């Protein structure tokens, strides 16, 4: 083996073992010698003085070198390859058009293919590691494994990931390929601004120059994008809700587009987007949609902006999200025809209920009353019929007509509005008395249309008998009349309540009316009747003496059943979801693409206890809107099963793609079928597609802060600055002394001799 092959590293060393102090002392002596030589030559001509001093200096230098014993150290060393990190943005925005043909990611791939030879050569010194960058940096085998599918771009996080994985001394370099469309810490960075703290910290931890390679179009992509939607995941029914949206337009000087908001397929509002281009070539528009949810439950909302001519990216023109509409308080309107004990105890009950927002209006005086006082001596206000039954009607969840007649208040025009209120989902209770039902003149009116019974024409009839109401078969199971979940106890509790005094006689029941309480046989007149009308629910109570269940029952120390009865009634009337026998719930409102959804179905029996062994069928529909905004559904999954001991059935399935979905559950509860549905979204609005503009300034800022260079795809990689790998082990070493050479001896004799000769010749010796 030749010596050159034997050693692969060399360096200069001092072979002497003089201490630093000795070396310093000798150096000072050498300088003194030179100083004396300069001093002694002061009588000479400048030329002779320089010559002699030069010869003295060379002599001293040669002797000093001999004193130090310089040598060449030859070594055979082993080096460990360091890491050349190639970070490639693999977010969705990399699938957008890049420079020239193809996507931004394809541009990166082509560049890497062009430099395959270079990379191969570098592999001798470096481990070339590829990472796909999205919300984090994840190792991949090579460019072929990269797909533009990440739902975020967090460049600072990715750099921090690399800093956590490698020490700075183990890095040959960091190369970042990206379109710069960061939606993390660097998302708000503007050209010329310093890095935000998170990015600054990541760069400092890396302590390695970051070479960035920008991939993206030179001119802005033609795109209209919904960049942000601000909404609350929860909203209150009958309370105005604001949804705000930011729309960014780039690549257009002028465009006019509709912006729409839909709840399922109901159009909630339309705005017009008018563009005037901003200083950075883009235009930002802000929209606010206000609407009032009229029913509880989850719903899919779709915000959409129209497609501009020639628009290159349309997937970001639509955003879908789920809002859960809940009830803050139950808004009850209690209208009373005359003060009475029945009204007094019901009002007290409603006032005590913290979940009820009560508006009462009592008729304290009619036109037939003689107050014997001027208006200023009375505390009366006019009956605000228009405000209550027209302007504010829709703000209520439940209307109670308690021994109230509409006659005498010019209310005829409002009765159809009340009917429509019920038809559209409102609750309504009519409570008996001498001003109710037929006695109130409701026969033939819009009110009668939704009552559970026909009203007798002509004068009403009142029964003044005292009776104990009897629970019907339906009443034993109905949530309104469930005082106890144990059927026997329930029947006994009803039988133990104080008797009632009188009731309104009414006509035949309508189909679908469910009598819950009735007078004893043989008459069996309805006392409490439940009925559904359109989307709404109606409860007819034909007596005005239910207050005895409060005060009178308290005589035995227990008036809670009065509260239980009306509490049940209110919850049933407003369709409290907790009363639904079948409920289905997805474990999330929004899933990322490819994630598995877990659907839990809960079935409870009429006794409100979990129903084990119930057969359940679940359909999952994909919900989309067609061009006209109509809902289109397609069943994408069907599954059946049986509930466990807890009355639950858990189903899992993976939605096939982006979009809105609705899971529907059906189960047989007793003899009737219960249903429920729950909507959810699958990654329909990735953040990646909100900001599509390629941003070279982000990459330039990273490079500048780290001491690297910002380059483009066309700049190539050949001049990439890389650090050499570090030595990990010295296998063999040889020191070659240079001072022992004859040349050094010759020089040590030659220069003093020359000085001696000249001094003698010039007469200085």
Partner 1 sequence: MRNPTRRGALTAFAAVAGALAARPAGAIGPDDETGIALLRHGAGATLRPGAVEQLLWEATKRTSIDARERPAVVEPESPEVFRHPLIAWLGEEACPPLSDAAVARLGRYLRAGGCLYIDDASPPGVDGFDQSVRREVERLLPGRVLSRVSNDHTIYRSFFLLERPFGRTARQNFLEGVELDDRTAVFYGRNDLFGAFGRDAGGSWRLPVEPGGDEQREMAFRMGINLLMYATCLSYKRDQVHVTEILRRRKWRVDEGGVVK
Q: In the range 69-128, which residues lie near partner 1 by CB under 8 A?
A: none
Options 164-172, 341-349, 420-428, 681-689: segment touching partner 1 (CB under 8 A) = 341-349
372 part of the interface to partner 1, by CB under 8 A: yes
Shortest distance, position 622 Cβ to partner 1, whole Å: 30
Count of C-beta atoms within a 10 Å radius of residue 351: 12
On the question of a cis peptide bond just before residue 218, with omega within 30 degrees of 0, the verdict is: no
Tokens linked to 731:
């296998």
Q: How many residues bind partner 1 (CB under 8 A)?
A: 76
Distance CA 310, CA 219 (A): 15
Query: What is the footprint of partner 1 within residues 405-464 (CB under 8 A)?
Result: 432-434, 462-464
Asked whether position 639 contacts partner 1 by CB under 8 A, the answer is no
Residue in 154, 190, 181, 159 with CA at minimum distance from that of residue 98: 181
Q: Cβ 695 to partner 1, closest distance in Å?
A: 34
Note whether 341 binds partner 1 by CB under 8 A: yes
Contact string 247-286 vs partner 1 (x = CB under 8 A): ----------------------x-x---------------
Strand partners, 678: 663
Please identify which residue in 35, 100, 168, 384 interacts with partner 1, judged by CB under 8 A: 384
**Using rule CB under 8 A, residue 328 touches partner 1:** no
Looking at residue 595, the DSSP 8-state letter turns out to be P
Identify the CA nearest to 680 among candidates 92, 233, 229. Answer: 233
Helix (H) or strand (E) holding 341: helix 341-352
Q: Could you say which DSSP state residue 390 is in?
A: I
- Give φ, ψ of 751 to 5 degrees: -70, -40
In the complex, minimum distance from the CB of residue 532 to partner 1, in angstroms, rounded to a whole number: 24
| 2 near partner 1, rule: CB under 8 A | no
Does 347 bind partner 1 (CB under 8 A)? Our answer is yes
Do residues 135 and 150 make contact, with C-beta atoms less than 8 angstroms apart? yes
Q: Which of 41, 97, 502, 679 binds partner 1 (CB under 8 A)?
A: 502
Q: Supply 580's token pair.
A: 């639904």
Task: Report the residue number, 237 or 713, with the smaller CB distance to partner 1.
Answer: 237
Q: Supply the DSSP string of 134-177, one letter for each residue.
A: SSSEEEESSGGG--S-BS---HHHHHHHHHHHS-GGGEEEEEEE
Q: Which of 274, 366, 632, 654 binds partner 1 (CB under 8 A)?
A: 366
Separation CA 399–CA 335 (nearest Å): 8
The residue whose two tokens read 């030069």 is 54
Among 4, 20, 124, 381, binds partner 1 (CB under 8 A): 381
Task: With CA atoms as reference, report the closest residue to 451 among 514, 539, 363, 570.
Answer: 539
Give the C-alpha separation, 180 to 214, whole Å: 7
Stretch that binds partner 1, among 448-456, 499-507, 570-578, 595-603 (CB under 8 A): 499-507
CA distances (Å), origin 507, targets 278, 405, 415, 546? 71, 18, 20, 21
- For partner 1, which is the closer residue by CB, 394 or 425? 394
- In the bound complex, what is the minimum distance in angstroms from residue 268's beta carbon to partner 1? 9
Q: Which of 316, 559, 604, 643 binds partner 1 (CB under 8 A)?
A: 559
721 touches partner 1 (CB under 8 A): no
The string of DSSP codes covering 540-594 is: EE--S-GGGGTHHHHTTT--HHHHHHHHHHHHHHTT-GGG-SEEEEES-SEE-TT
Q: Candidates 6, 232, 387, 735: give the one binding partner 1 (CB under 8 A).
A: 387
Among 76, 353, 355, 392, binds partner 1 (CB under 8 A): 392
- Name the residue among 513, 429, 520, 543 with its Cα closest to residue 471: 520
Which residue in the set 100, 168, 258, 339 belongs to the binding site for partner 1 (CB under 8 A)?
339
Closest CA to 710 of 702, 250, 71, 722: 702
In the complex, least distance from residue 298 CB atom to partner 1, rounded to whole angstroms:
20
Q: How far is the CB of 553 from partner 1 (least distance, A)?
A: 8
- Compare residues 65 and 417 and give the one whose CB is closer to partner 1: 417
User: Contact with partner 1 (CB under 8 A): which of 1, 5, 20, 373?
Assistant: 373
Question: Which tokens hold the place of 373?
Answer: 């006082």
Residues 6-35 that bind partner 1 (CB under 8 A): none
Pick one of 395, 585, 593, 633: the residue that binds partner 1 (CB under 8 A): 395
Q: Compute CA 640 distance to the chain's CA centroid, rounded to the nearest angstrom.
A: 31
Nearest to 441 by CA among 428, 427, 456: 456
Task: Tell me the closest approach of the beta carbon of residue 252 to partner 1, in angstroms.
Answer: 25
Report angle CA 703, 706, 709 to the nearest 5 degrees: 35
> Interface with partner 1 includes 727 (CB under 8 A)?
no
Adjacent-strand bridge partners of 246 = 228, 286
Residue 211 contacts partner 1 per CB under 8 A: no
Q: Which of 150, 209, 337, 426 is in the footprint of partner 1 by CB under 8 A?
A: 337
Shortest distance (Å) from residue 351 CB to partner 1: 7
User: Pick from 17, 377, 626, 628: which binds partner 1 (CB under 8 A)?
Assistant: 377
Give the one residue of 291, 383, 409, 653 binding partner 1; rule: CB under 8 A.
291
> With respect to partner 1, which residue has the nearer C-beta, 465 or 576?
465
Q: Which residues in 645-704 contact partner 1 (CB under 8 A)?
A: none
Q: How far apart are CA 408 and CA 424, in angstroms?
A: 27
Shortest distance, CB of residue 352 to partner 1, whole angstroms? 8
Check residue 348 for interaction with partner 1 (CB under 8 A). yes
Per CB under 8 A, the segment of 119-127, 496-504, 527-535, 749-757 that binds partner 1 is 496-504
* Whole-number Å distance between alpha carbons of 186 and 160: 13
């Amino acid at each position: 083996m030749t010596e050159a092959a034997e050693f692969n590293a060399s360096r200069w060393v001092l072979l002497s073992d003089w201490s630093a102090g000795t070396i310093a002392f000798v150096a000072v002596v050498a300088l003194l010698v030179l100083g004396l030589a300069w001093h002694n030559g002061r009588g000479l001509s400048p030329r002779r003085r320089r010559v002699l001093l030069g010869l003295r200096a060379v002599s001293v230098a040669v002797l000093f070198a001999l004193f130090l014993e310089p040598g060449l150290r030859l070594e055979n060393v082993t080096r460990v390859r360091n890491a050349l990190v190639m970070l490639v943005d693999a977010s969705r925005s990399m699938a957008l058009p890049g420079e020239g043909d193809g996507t931004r990611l394809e541009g990166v791939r082509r560049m890497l293919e062009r430099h395959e030879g270079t990379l191969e050569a570098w592999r001798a010194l470096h481990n070339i590691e590829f990472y796909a960058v999205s919300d984090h940096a994840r190792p991949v085998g090579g460019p072929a494994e990269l797909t533009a599918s990440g739902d975020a771009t967090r460049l600072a996080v990715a750099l921090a990931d690399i800093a956590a994985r490698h020490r700075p001394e183990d890095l040959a370099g960091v190369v970042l390929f990206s379109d710069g469309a960061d939606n993390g810490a660097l998302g708000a960075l503007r050209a010329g601004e310093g890095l935000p703290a998170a990015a600054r910290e990541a760069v400092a931890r890396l302590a390695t120059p970051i070479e960035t390679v920008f991939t993206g179009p030179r001119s802005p992509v033609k795109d209209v994008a919904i960049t942000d939607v601000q909404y609350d995941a929860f909203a209150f029914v009958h309370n105005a809700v604001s949804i705000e949206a930011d729309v960014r337009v780039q690549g257009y000087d002028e465009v006019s587009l509709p912006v729409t908001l839909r709840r399922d397929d109901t159009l909630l509002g339309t705005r017009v987007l008018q563009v005037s281009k901003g200083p950075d070539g883009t235009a930002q528009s802000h929209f606010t949609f206000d609407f009032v949810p009229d029913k509880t439950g989850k719903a899919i909302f779709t915000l959409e902006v129209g497609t501009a001519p020639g628009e290159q990216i349309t997937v970001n023109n639509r955003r879908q999200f789920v809002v859960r509409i809940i009830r803050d308080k139950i808004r009850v309107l209690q209208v009373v025809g005359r003060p009475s004990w029945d009204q007094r105890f019901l009002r007290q009950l409603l006032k005590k209920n913290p979940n009820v927002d009560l508006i009462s209006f009592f008729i304290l005086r009619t036109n037939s009353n003689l107050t014997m006082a001027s208006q200023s001596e009375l505390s009366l206000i006019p009956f605000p019929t228009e405000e209550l039954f027209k302007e504010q009607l829709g703000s209520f969840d439940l209307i109670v007509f308690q021994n109230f007649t509409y006659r005498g208040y010019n209310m005829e025009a409002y009765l159809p509005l009340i009917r429509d209120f019920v038809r559209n989902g409102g609750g309504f209770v009519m409570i008996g008395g001498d001003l109710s039902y037929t006695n109130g003149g409701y026969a033939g009116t819009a009110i009668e249309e939704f009552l559970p019974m026909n009203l007798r024409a002509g004068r009403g009839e009142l029964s003044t008998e005292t009776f104990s109401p009897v629970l019907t078969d339906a009443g034993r199971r109905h949530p309104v009349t469930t005082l106890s979940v144990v059927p026997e106890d329930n029947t006994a509790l009803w039988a133990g309540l104080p008797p009632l005094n009188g009731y309104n006689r009414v006509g035949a029941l309508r189909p679908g009316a469910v009598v819950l309480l009735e007078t004893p046989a043989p008459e069996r007149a309805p006392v409490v009747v439940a009925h559904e009308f359109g989307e709404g629910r109606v409860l007819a109570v034909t007596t005005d003496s239910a207050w005895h269940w409060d005060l009178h029952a308290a005589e035995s120390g227990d008036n809670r059943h009065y509260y239980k009865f009306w509490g049940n009634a209110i919850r049933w009337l407003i369709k409290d979801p907790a009363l639904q026998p079948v409920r289905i719930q997805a474990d999330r409102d929004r899933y990322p693409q490819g994630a598995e959804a877990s659907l839990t179905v809960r079935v409870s029996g009429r006794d409100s206890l979990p129903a084990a062994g119930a057969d359940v069928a679940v359909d999952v529909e994909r919900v989309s809107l067609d061009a006209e905004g109509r809902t289109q559904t397609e069943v994408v999954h069907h599954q059946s099963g049986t509930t466990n001991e807890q009355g639950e059935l858990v189903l899992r399935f993976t939605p096939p793609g982006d979009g809105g979905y609705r899971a529907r559950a059906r189960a047989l509860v007793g003899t009737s079928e219960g249903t429920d549905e729950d909507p959810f979204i699958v990654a329909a609005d990735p953040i990646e597609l909100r900001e599509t503009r390629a941003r070279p300034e982000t990459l330039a800022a990273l490079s500048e802060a780290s001491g690297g260079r910002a380059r483009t795809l066309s700049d190539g990689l050949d001049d990439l600055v890389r650090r050499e790998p570090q030595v990990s082990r010295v296998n063999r070493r040889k020191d070659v002394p240079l001072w022992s050479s004859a040349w050094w001896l010759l020089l040590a004799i030659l220069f003093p001799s020359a000085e001696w000769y000249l001094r003698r010749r010039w007469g200085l010796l």
